[in-house]
Amino acid sequence: MPERKSGGRRRSSSGRRYGQKAQQKVERAMHEMKRGQLKSGRSGKTVKSRKQAIAIGLSEARRAGGKVPRRKK
């Protein structure tokens, strides 16, 4: 009998991990970062890192009630 090679965890039937709201917020954050207008929350410094811009966009999407997975600790 051939064995199945599943790669570990299975996804739910819906399949999408991030909703439309998350995409919009990240897109807006990236656009602002490229223009040099995206500021960090507490310190107010200009964001230069791509990863940081994505994190800010996802955080805003969470606050707005979008479908975004939990933060990894």
User: Would 25 be classed as within a structural domain?
Assistant: yes
User: Would 53 be classed as within a structural domain?
Assistant: yes
Q: What does the pLDDT profile of the chain (73 residues) look like in tens digits?
A: 667 666 666 656 667 798 898 999 999 999 999 999 999 888 999 999 999 999 999 888 988 988 888 888 7
What tens digit of pLDDT does each residue of 6-17 get? 666 665 666 779
What is the number of structural domains in the chain?
1
CA 34 to chain centre: 17
State the Cα–Cα distance between residues 68 and 59, nearest whole angstrom.
9
Question: Which range marks the domain in which residue 24 is found?
Answer: 20-63
